[in-house]
Amino acid sequence: MRNIYRLLAQQYDPLGFLIPYTTRAKVIVQHLWDKKRGWDDPHLPENLLHAWRLWESELGQLSQITLPRCYTDPHSDCSKSHRSLHVFCDASERAYGSVAYLRTDQGEGKVQVAFLAARSRVAPKKQLSIPRLELCGALTGAQLASVLKKELTLDIQDVVFWTDSTTVLNWLHSDSCRYKVFVGTRVAEVQELSAGASWRYVDSGTNPADDITRGKTVAQLAGENRWSRGPPFLQLPPSLWPQAPVGEAKEEVDELKKPVFCGLLTGSASPAIPDVKQFSTYEELLKATAQLMHGAATDTSHPDADDFRRAELALLRHSQMESFPKEFTLLKSEKLIPSSSRLITLAPEYDKASDLIRVGGRLRRCEGLSPEVLHPVLLEPAHPVTKLLIQRCDNKLNHPGAERVFAELRRKYWILRGREAVRRHQHYCPECKKWRGQPEVPKMADLPPSSLRLFRPAFYSTGMDCFGPMLIKVGRRTEKRWGILFKCLTTRAVHLDLLVNMDVDSFLMSLRRFIARRGKPFELLSDQGTNFRGASKELQEAFTALTPDLRQQLAAEQIRFSFNPPSAPHFGGSWEREVRSVKTALRTTLGAQIVSEEVLRTVLLEVESILNSRPLGYVSSDIADPDPITPYSLLMGRPDCSLPQVFYPESELLSRKRWRHTQVLADQFWKHFIRHFMPTLQPRQKWHKETDNIAVGSVVLIVDQQTPRALWQIGTVKTILPGADDRVRAAVVQVKDRTYTRPVARLIRLPVLPQDSA
């Protein structure tokens, strides 16, 4: 097999002039692969080997084949000449293909025909009918003509296709949608490629494409023949060309699509019911149906229990006839439903008493259960009656979980894909959303500029928070003290201080002590007091009164103050997490004992030292790696205040001046900060998915962790506060005559409530 392929691949024939000869080898190779054979299998069938050796022996005669370079002589190459492209197609059980010729008519009976190109394909292993193979040959002809029209630079006035199959001609003059997929797709492609061309009939005796399917020897291709010069009738005027046989071609009935009946089967007249889509509850629909069947002209007439029972049966019957028309008709006629029906696994049965389809199932031998439980009514989940039934059951059970509603419905109704239908209803139910809805948190934002102020002094951008109260001992009495935390948002350095009172004066004095020790910050960030962990009611009231005075004081100092939205601790997560660390350290150190103010202040400073000695980023266990940097590396020039001062050799210092020594320490801090710690800030630890931005006018439920869920307020979004990435993370919500600014992480979007009709 390897040598056979090698010899066959050596025949370079881009125009396809040798196709009648090479197609013989392709057919032999196809027969060799009928059974599983290896590339070097020596045991090949003798008859095929004999055919191959005969084909191989003709290779020495290829030098006898000549092909003229010019399509026409110089006298015919003029603008007055009429050029037309003729493509002949044919197929057999072994192969199919097409060949193209250029016909140049000078006028006065002077015609020249030249070979252009040819294509062939071996018939597929799967047995196809001759008409289908002839259609495949016509497709190769249309594709060949499309390529030639693009590649030839000659002006071709006409394109004519020839085939000896009247069935193919009949297909190509019909609509492709009438036939099966195999024929229809190929007919459509041929019609598209040969648009504007004409398809004509040619008998097999004068069809040059017949040489492709029958095969020729090299000696037969070497001389003057029909393959190289085209069929003789192309030398004649068009009026003398072959004509289609008289009579209509026989239609291939097997290739036509099966007709499909489109209609509506109606059974016995069922009682009229109102339009289901006009009702919002099942009770209203049932009442209207009962009144319509009862014949009540006004609302003063009240149907009895039997009327409501008949009305419910009519609604269920109407739902089943619309959802399962074929199954309903067959079961009512005591016939079997098809195996492809979606109800086949439930063994449906027709109940003559109620005129409904019920589940047959496998529980009929169970004693102690009512017939409705053993044989529930079958319903389609998307039908409006089914949706109203699910809504009624959900309201009746006060909006429990989906499993509870589904189990209750199963006692009387069998809804296909019932769990999915119940969950879909509860997803859009406003009341269910109130009890089980969760906020849709936007994708985590990029780090703010306050966390990326490189090469700035420590505490340039500072977040602050208060915590407490903490009890101290003053003589024989106890008093309250509060702690305040300042955190550098870039270097993660921490500054702790103690507040005597939660008022404006105490805070401002603490701020002045902070500025005196750490320098004046560029900006201060804080929340609005309602989220201070462990803060008492006095803290909230003091911060509310503190805000106006604080702004006046900070404006004079040129310090920018930024507030986070209320109920948004994640907006200040950087310093909120430090508050937790401080509380944990105090709890571990002091426990439940009450100490004096001096001891408490000392412990706070020790905690501050511990927090500022924490390494930033990954700590390597390899001794060859450099020591990790800490906030103290920038504040004090050494990673830990408990260690002795670091001495640098003279080669690492620019000079012995103190300010240059400090500059070297700062440069080393920022170099390690950027190289080792800053890349760790890249990942988003949570909130990875994109969510739709909350819009103005949305109805939301405001989450309040201090109250039960039943008391959470419902409002309307009046203003959105988008961030730098255009994602909305906070919004202004109006509840009656008051407005609240809340983060989106504390807002649960509710479905739009339907307006009551007047």
The burial of 625, by beta-carbon neighbours within 10 Å (0-12 exposed, 13-18 middle, 19 or more buried), is given as exposed
Mean pLDDT score, 151-171: 90
Mean pLDDT score, 504-511: 80
The burial of 175, by beta-carbon neighbours within 10 Å (0-12 exposed, 13-18 middle, 19 or more buried), is given as exposed
pLDDT tens per residue, range 397-442: 888 888 999 999 988 999 999 999 999 998 888 888 878 777 877 7
CA atoms within 13 A on the CB side of 394: 27
User: Does residue 561 carry a pLDDT above 70?
Assistant: yes
Q: What is the largest distance, in Å, between two alpha-carbon atoms of the chain?
A: 135
Cβ within 8 Å of residue 184, ≥6 positions away: 176, 177, 178, 257
DSSP string, 653-670: SS-S-HHHHHHHHHHHHH
User: Does residue 746 carry a pLDDT above 90?
Assistant: no
How far, in whole angstroms, is CA 1 from its chain's centroid?
48
Q: Is the pLDDT higher at 578 or at 562?
A: 578
536 band by pLDDT with thresholds 50, 70 and 90? very low
Q: What percent of the chain has pLDDT above 90?
A: 18
Cβ 12 vs Cβ 113: under 8 Å: no
User: Does residue 141 carry a pLDDT above 90?
Assistant: yes
- Stated as kind and residue range, the H or E segment containing 684 is none
- In angstroms, the first-to-last Cα distance of the chain is 87
User: Does residue 653 carry a pLDDT above 70?
Assistant: no
> Crossing angle for the helix pair 597-612 and 573-590, nearest 10 degrees?
130
Which pairing describes strands 95-107 and 110-122: parallel, antiparallel, or unpaired? antiparallel
User: Does residue 307 carry a pLDDT above 80?
Assistant: yes
The CA distance from 388 to 274, in Å, is 14
- Stated as kind and residue range, the H or E segment containing 547 is helix 537-557
CA atoms within 13 A on the CB side of 388: 19
pLDDT tens per residue, range 71-119: 888 777 777 888 999 999 999 999 999 999 999 988 877 888 999 999 9
Instruction: Please tell me the least confidently modeled range out of 129-143, 490-504, 524-538, 581-595.
Output: 524-538
User: Does residue 471 carry a pLDDT above 70?
Assistant: yes
User: Does residue 754 carry a pLDDT above 70?
Assistant: no
In the chain, the amino acid numbered 578 is: E
In the chain, the amino acid numbered 66 is: T
In this predicted structure, what is the pLDDT of residue 645?
A: 46
SS3 per residue for 178-236: HECHHHHHHHHHHHHHCCCCEEEECCHHHCCCHHHHHCCCHHHHHCCCHHHHCCHHHHC
Q: Is the pLDDT higher at 196 or at 19?
A: 19
In this predicted structure, what is the pLDDT of residue 87?
A: 95
Mean pLDDT score, 459-471: 87
**Two tokens, residue 558:** 């040129």
User: Does residue 532 carry a pLDDT above 50?
Assistant: no
Mean pLDDT over the full length of the chain = 81
In this predicted structure, what is the pLDDT of residue 529?
A: 55
CA atoms within 13 A on the CB side of 165: 27
The CA distance from 179 to 651, in Å, is 90
Cβ 100 vs Cβ 208: under 8 Å: no
642 band by pLDDT with thresholds 50, 70 and 90? low
Cβ within 8 Å of residue 178, ≥6 positions away: 184, 256, 257
Which pairing describes strands 494-499 and 477-488: parallel, antiparallel, or unpaired? antiparallel
Question: Strand pairing partners for 564?
Answer: none
DSSP string, 99-141: EEEEEEEEETTEEEEEEEEEEEEEPPSS---HHHHHHHHHHHH
670 band by pLDDT with thresholds 50, 70 and 90? low
- Stated as kind and residue range, the H or E segment containing 473 is strand 461-474
CA atoms within 13 A on the CB side of 152: 19
In this predicted structure, what is the pLDDT of residue 752?
A: 67
Q: How many CB atoms neighbour CB 720 within 10 A? A: 16
pLDDT tens per residue, range 367-408: 778 888 888 999 999 999 999 999 999 989 888 888 999 999
The CA distance from 673 to 669, in Å, is 6
In this predicted structure, what is the pLDDT of residue 626?
A: 65
In this predicted structure, what is the pLDDT of residue 652?
A: 46
The CA distance from 182 to 46, in Å, is 37
User: Does residue 550 carry a pLDDT above 90?
Assistant: no
In this predicted structure, what is the pLDDT of residue 537?
A: 42
- Model pTM? 0.44
DSSP state, residue 245: P
pLDDT tens per residue, range 7-38: 888 888 888 889 998 898 888 888 887 777 77
Q: Which long-range contacts (CB under 8 A, 24 or more apart) does 237-244 make?
A: 241/200, 242/200, 242/201, 242/202, 242/203, 242/206, 243/201, 244/166, 244/169, 244/200, 244/201
676 band by pLDDT with thresholds 50, 70 and 90? low
Highest mean pLDDT among 89-93, 154-158, 490-494, 642-646: 89-93
In this predicted structure, what is the pLDDT of residue 557?
A: 65
Sign of CA dihedral 300, 306, 312, 318: negative
In the chain, the amino acid numbered 186 is: R
In this predicted structure, what is the pLDDT of residue 622?
A: 65
pLDDT tens per residue, range 687-711: 667 788 888 988 998 888 888 888 8
Cβ 136 vs Cβ 163: under 8 Å: no
Q: How many CB atoms neighbour CB 85 within 10 A? A: 22
In this predicted structure, what is the pLDDT of residue 159?
A: 93
Cβ 54 vs Cβ 173: under 8 Å: no
User: Does residue 566 carry a pLDDT above 80?
Assistant: no
pLDDT tens per residue, range 355-371: 899 988 888 888 778 88
How far, in whole angstroms, is CA 663 from its chain's centroid?
53
Q: Is the peptide bond before 469 cis (omega within 30 degrees of 0)?
A: yes
